[in-house]
Amino acid sequence: MVFNFTSLGTPTCNRLGTFYVKAVIITASFLFLTFVLLPSDTKSQLSSSLSAGSSSQQLDSSASTAEEIPNIVHFVYILKDSATEFNFGFSHFLSVFSARYFLHPDKIILHTNCLPDSLPVLAAKNGTSGKWNNLLFNLSDINLQINPVKVPLAASNGIMIQNMEHKSDFVRVAQVYEQGGIYIDFDVHVLRDLAPLRRAGFKAVGGRQVGGQINSGTFMAVPKSKAMAIWKMKMGQLYTGGWTTHSNEVITAVGERLVGEAGEMLIMEREAFAPGSWNGADTDSLFQVHKNTNNSGINVTDVFANKRRLPDFKEGLADRWNYPERFESWETDWSKTYLLHAFTPDRWSHKVPGFDHITPRYILERKSNFARAVYPVVKIMYEKGWIKEDDLDSYDGK
């Protein structure tokens, strides 16, 4: 069984008669997904796309023979045009450095629609577009590699792709399919090493979000995995312009089916990759500023004025049972979370009590669940001298 791809999301068909029986089996499998696993609007489109000619496309179960998922981290950022500058703020820098610090990747790749010597990249490197852009593109500790990509203008079904987020969806799946590795959204923060999952023997790993779907903001796979191959093809055929029709809905249906094939897909519980959500109660729980009642906060002004070392706040395995008084009543235990997909309330114009922006001060004061989750990474930034007193309230670096 082989999928042959000539362009993003567009397969070429192998119509050799000797594979007809296998083609029927695949068709039946997808029809099962149509009526059991997908929402009703996606079901009808999936059924139509299969009957329109995909029945002869085949998957080679031996196409991917990699024993572990490559330690390559992928980010995607699509610019509207060549005159647009990168708009990375402190939170973006925090996301990328968390990947470098915890994952120790062989490469961190930024897939974007501009060349390494283009004006947007040069503006980021020379600091004219802000400090966090400057650090992100220049620091040897990050070693960001820029990969120019061609952004699809239309899906394989002919529907134009309007949203930048949707264009990013197509690019991320295509790149992980080709190279393998870990895809991370810029609002995802790494809390611990993913090596145990990369080496667990699965060819693809995803995690559930609120509502049960597999979240498309972070996933990992070996090159040419079956999960990425099917997703890459079907997202172009099923694209409607709906927010998740081509992304979460497709990989959920395909991923759940592939769990039944040994080693093809591992689906993590919601707490592992996306413990929160975009709902007001969840964003409040994550970002709300609280009062510290047990001296577990930090006087940031004093730290910078006297050049003090920042405390570690390391937590022992049994500390929450043996010393409950050390922990705030509002505090979340992040022990079961690998990746924190921190859905921010900005897009939905929801006001979180006490919260405006993710800044160095906001993290170092440790007055929210998000701050306590990512504090170890910001502590390293401070120790490396990347955060100055003038940067404490800077979220955009300008």
DSSP state of 160: B
The string of pLDDT tens digits covering residues 92-110 is 999 999 999 999 999 999 9
**Does residue 290 share a domain with residue 238?**
no
The string of pLDDT tens digits covering residues 231-271 is 999 999 999 999 999 999 999 999 999 999 999 999 999 99
Q: Which domain holds residue 28?
A: 4-56
Total domains present in the chain: 3
Domain-embedded: residue 275: no
- Check residue 88 and give its pLDDT: 96
Domain-embedded: residue 80: yes
Question: In the structure, what pLDDT confidence band is assigned to residue 82 with cuts at 50, 70 and 90?
Answer: confident
- Check residue 382 and give its pLDDT: 97
Token pair 């929801």: residue: 350
CA distance 128 to 85: 10
Q: Residue 26 contacts by C-beta under 8 Å, 6 or more apart in sequence?
A: 1, 55, 57, 58, 59
Question: In the structure, what pLDDT confidence band is assigned to residue 10 with cuts at 50, 70 and 90?
Answer: very low
Counting residues of the chain whose pLDDT is more than 70, the rounded percentage is: 83
Question: In the structure, what pLDDT confidence band is assigned to residue 123 with cuts at 50, 70 and 90?
Answer: very high
**Does residue 257 share a domain with residue 110?**
yes
Which range, of 103-117, 208-222, 315-329, averages the lowest pLDDT? 315-329
Q: Which amino acid is at 384?
A: K
Domain-embedded: residue 380: yes
The residues that bridge with 219 in the sheet, in sequence order, are: 183
Q: Which amino acid is at 64?
A: S
- Check residue 30 and give its pLDDT: 41
Q: Which of 269, 292, 315 is the last residue of a domain?
A: 269
**Does residue 165 share a domain with residue 264?**
yes
**Does residue 350 share a domain with residue 238?**
no
**Does residue 173 share a domain with residue 83?**
yes
Domain-embedded: residue 63: no
- Check residue 83 and give its pLDDT: 79
- Check residue 345 and give its pLDDT: 85
As separate numbers, helices (DSSP H) first and strands (DSSP E) second, the chain gives: 15, 11
Average pLDDT, integer, range 18-43? 43
Average pLDDT, integer, range 374-379? 98
Q: Residue 145 contacts by C-beta under 8 Å, 6 or more apart in sequence?
A: 107, 108, 109, 110
CB atoms within 10 A of CB 178: 13
Average pLDDT, integer, range 295-306? 88
Domain-embedded: residue 128: yes
Question: In the structure, what pLDDT confidence band is assigned to residue 291 with cuts at 50, 70 and 90?
Answer: confident
The Cβ-side half-sphere exposure at 219, using a 13 Å CA radius, reads: 34
Give which of 55, 61, 62, 64 is closest to 13, Cα–Cα. 55
**Does residue 94 share a domain with residue 17?**
no
**Does residue 108 share a domain with residue 15?**
no
Domain-embedded: residue 61: no
Domain-embedded: residue 246: yes
**Does residue 209 share a domain with residue 119?**
yes
**Does residue 24 share a domain with residue 88?**
no
**Does residue 217 share a domain with residue 261?**
yes
Domain-embedded: residue 65: no
Which range, of 20-29, 113-122, 357-366, averages the lowest pLDDT? 20-29
- Check residue 34 and give its pLDDT: 40
The pTM of the whole model exceeds 0.95: no
**Does residue 162 share a domain with residue 21?**
no
Average pLDDT, integer, range 314-337? 93
Q: Residue 364 contacts by C-beta under 8 Å, 6 or more apart in sequence?
A: 298, 300, 303, 310, 371, 375, 378, 379, 382, 392
Question: In the structure, what pLDDT confidence band is assigned to residue 64 with cuts at 50, 70 and 90?
Answer: low
**Does residue 256 share a domain with residue 164?**
yes
